[in-house]
Amino acid sequence: MASHSVTLFSVLMRPQPVRTNAEFAGRVLDQVANHVQERGYGILACRLRSDRDIHFAKALNRRVTGSINQLTGFATVFIGSPDEDLDAISDRLNATILSFLGKNKNDYGLPKDALEELLIKQS
């Protein structure tokens, strides 16, 4: 699972053997670019395909870590078989309410909405 640390927008990927960090990063970028392209975020997909820059990070914010753990737990429950449609599960994860994404105290937000807001701010 690849998750954006600000929006928590997540994409599940099938495990594949890799030999280098660069090969792994390339596969992650390709998978995420394909996923967002299919969901109508063409500008983001183009940016991911042209930039080819990825950073691995450790979340120091406990709320981010907790939300990613929550998404990982949901993904584990949603995956029933190896033939499961990972794009559909990713869509379910991105439609999961999370308190980290709420604008106010005791509020919740969705990863897909947070991604859309971020793209609007950057355009």
Domains of the chain: total: 1
pTM score, whole prediction: 0.83
CB 109 within 8 A of CB 97: yes
Q: Write down the pLDDT at residue 91.
A: 95
- Rounded distance between C-alpha atoms, residue 67 and residue 73, angstroms: 10
For residue 56, give the amino acid letter: F
Note whether 50 and 34 are within 8 A (CB).
no
Low-confidence ranges of the chain (pLDDT < 50): none
Give the pLDDT confidence score for residue 98 in this predicted structure: 92
73: closest CA among 85, 62, 65?
Answer: 65
Containing structural domain, residue 108: 2-122
